[in-house]
Structure 1
Amino acid sequence: MNSTTQTASQTDKQPRPAGFLRALWVITYSIAATAKYSLKTLYFAFFSKKDLRTKVDKILVDWSGRLIRAARINWQVEGDLEQQVQEGRRVIIMCNHSSAYDIPLAFTALPGSIRMISKKELFSVPLLSSAMKAAEILSINRQNRQQAIEDLKIAREKMESGIRIWMFPEGTRSKNGELIPLKKGGIRLAIDTNALIIPVVMQDIYKVLPNKKWLKMRLHQPVKVKVGEAIDCREFDVEHRHELSDLVYNSMKRMLEERSS
């Protein structure tokens, strides 16, 4: 893969603590923006369904851009996702998870119709759950075998229709930005759907808003979104899932630990 760097939201300002009032404003603004764009998604879902996916793509980019700008994140992309994806291939983007800003930065920085695999608990939240369903956000219930089979079928259909699935294979959020061992669910999904895995890491994004420290925000934090080499899951079966998991983990860990000279 030829390495490319896309730069956006670059400033000369140094990272600094946001302060209590600024952090409180950013969080309040982000909640309000999420509610606004959830309602907008529902409006299109009920009253303007034509080209709904395209409309949702724009909503997600607009929503995420507002959140990223409010936090003054100074981000750039290294690598090229688009040139690695052959037309018609099912795609799963696997990314490390260390911040509440992982998701909005994904929609802002990467191309295509990206949709998350979300926790099933979020589908019980009023308004948000309806908006997530309308936006084609997915959930896979591994506790219920019959439901898991149905969810897997839906995921496959979404990918075949052009959706690029985004997921956090660690299964939980890292507290210090270091990569956590991967759970088996994401790897199994990739094998079951013969997907193309694109490893992605977000370097230093955990510094923007540390885990469970909502008012310890940092403004103007530099963040690198690194896109790794694609991994073709057609070369693996369930018996070799651990080899695939190691391959994905090592790719992500290497990118996360590499620092520009």
Structure 2
Amino acid sequence: MNANAEAAGGLHPLLPSDSATLRSLVDAARASGVDPYRYQTLLKQYWLAVGTESAGIDLASWTPFDGVHANLGNLTNTFQFYERLQLEHRELQWAGMGGMVGPAFAGGLLDLDYGRVVLEVQAISEAMALVWREVDRVGSPITTSMGAPEDIAALLQVGHEIRPEDVMWFQGKVIAMSKHIFSDLIPMHMAWVHDGNGTWPTPNPEDFYDAEKIDLSQTPGGEWVAAHPCGANAKHPSKAKAHADVVRQLLVKIEEANDAES
């Protein structure tokens, strides 16, 4: 099993990585009457393959520990896919937020990679080790007296021991985390936005924008917030007016959806 998404491929090394083959296996399992619980990994692998193909990612060769530059295309496609999902399906707000962090996430990894490259130059590495030791000597008493976080104190103590392969390992773990998130959530997103034939479904506007789904909550300041899963929201001192404002937004969305279908 590839539970932590650290190896190449999908959820299990014995499963294919293309959606067409996986779909035929899923159809066969369903036709046989087998309990879905028994082929849950196969089903999740299918939807994962649908997601990676939609994102432009080659699932079979997706290997986090190949490094930042080998995975830069996968990282870019991952976060662009999150953005596209939310733009096409306004209710998928998590995907939109995930897409927003993409540039900072990839930028941080690239910055870290510059440090790895620098550490590969032995003279620089040795000089940095001397600097780290001096920083540790001077800084440790200060961080102790100030009650600095444990991670800062630990970094002062071991900074002079950090090697390029340590940075490479850390980068691989971070990229694997990104792949793990994709592998965990995207299959559910794909199952939500696709129907059984792999085409985009058209939801019933009355059901999709049902006013009964409106959630009402009160802020510490006393204002009422009304929010619908589709993204419609309103804030007002009056609970009824906040609710009514969202209802009006939903009616507009229903009319727009009906006009688009006609």
TM score, norm. by length of structure 2:
0.26
Of Structure 1 and Structure 2, the greater strand share is in 1
Of Structure 1 and Structure 2, the greater helix share is in 2
Structure number with larger C-alpha Rg: 2
Greater length-normalized contact order (CA 8 Å, ≥ 6 residues apart): 1
TM score, norm. by length of structure 1:
0.26
